[in-house]
Amino acid sequence: MVTGGFGFIGSAIASKLTGNVTIVSRSKKHSHRITSSRFKILHKRVSKLTKKDLDHIDVIYHCASTVDNFTILETPYKDVDVNIKETIHLLELCKKLIKKPKIVYLSTFFVYGNQYRVDKKPLSEESKTSPLSLYSATKLCTESIITLYSRLYNIPYTICRLTNIYGPNDLATDKKGVINYFVQRALDGKSLDIYDGGNFMRDYLYIDDAVRAILLTSKQKGNETYLIGSGVSILFADLISLIHKETKNSSEIVSVPTPSFHHVVGITDFKADIGKLTALGWKPKINHTEGIKAIVTHIWHAKNYSFQ
């Protein structure tokens, strides 16, 4: 089962699974990401799942989640309802099953907050967590709830803390899918307004590599947490330069002040220590140039652009 199966990452996971796969989605939005008819589709919220829905399910890739820090500005309870309460409902169903399905929970590197600035070294699964936003706080809380249910009811789990995952099928907004957003603006010849000139480092991992890592870690024995990223941090300004190059466009790059909200909830620099993941024999295959090129090609064909 894949909850949030029409989402960017959930749909990518589902497409790589074999056997009987059930996709759970609260709406039909983004259903175009699923192109095969072999899936069983449940159009319902996770909170509406029943014990019967979980019959014969071996693994639950729990991708249903809020996706950014902005929810607190308009609907502050949404992060709690979706990330925490719906996961508890899922766990309550699992505890009643004779054969407990494994929960593979997609968490986020946001749970570390700005700990990299404190430690001055790449962060690992063992590093201190210090979430800065309600979104990241609820994701970390949900991690703890999953481990609690595992101890109480012997529900197996894998927790995947994902860095910045990007790829062609992501959204293209200034809140989510920011790389796609800037590719879109570059192709449209619009200015690229970058917070503080993009002078911050992040770990970006291409979607195909992320899915390989998630599937690999989900097959490991024991209850484990993995930090999943490329292990290579890049200045956001350098990503913008790649977008310029691959779009063959000279959109103006404008450095704008970081909004006060981002100063409160945002992460500055981040570097990941993915030694635990690479010890399983995994390594990324798609570099940043190839990843940006794939996004440009996807949007170019979708919008029928022509390069000058």
- pLDDT of 35 higher than 90: no
**pLDDT above 60: residue 235:** yes
* Residue 304 confidence class, pLDDT cut points 50, 70, 90: low
The answer to the question of residue 21 being in a domain is yes
Average pLDDT in the chain: 94
Q: What share of the chain has pLDDT > 70, as a percent?
A: 98
Residues 101-122 have a mean pLDDT of: 97
Mark whether 246 and 299 lie in a shared domain: yes
Q: What is the pTM of this model?
A: 0.95
Range of the domain at 250: 168-202+233-268+286-303
Residues 107 and 245 in one domain: no
Q: How far is CA 4 from the centre of its chain?
A: 11
Q: Does residue 110 register a pLDDT over 70?
A: yes
Q: Are strands 157-162 and 224-228 parallel, antiparallel or unpaired?
A: parallel
Neighbour-count burial of 260, counting CB atoms closer than 10 A to its CB (0-12 exposed, 13-18 middle, 19+ buried):
exposed
SS3 state of residue 42: strand
Does 32 fall in a domain? yes
Token readout for 58 is 């071996």
- Find where tokens 């950014």 sit: 68
Residue type, 211: V
Radius of gyration of the chain (CA): 19
Same domain, 115 and 263: no
Model confidence pLDDT, tens digit, residues 137-168: 999 999 999 999 999 999 999 999 999 999 99
Residue burial 66-93, b: 16+ Cβ < 10 Å; e: rest: bbebbbbeeeeeebbebbbebbbebbeb
Task: Check whether residue 43 and residue 185 sit in a common domain.
Answer: no
pLDDT attached to residue 308:
41
Band of residue 307 on the pLDDT scale cut at 50, 70, 90: very low
Instruction: Please write the tens of the pLDDT for every residue from 169-203.
Output: 998 887 788 999 999 999 998 999 999 999 999 99
Confidence of residue 62 (pLDDT cuts 50, 70, 90): very high
Tokens of 81: 């309802």
For residue 305, the model assigns a pLDDT of: 56
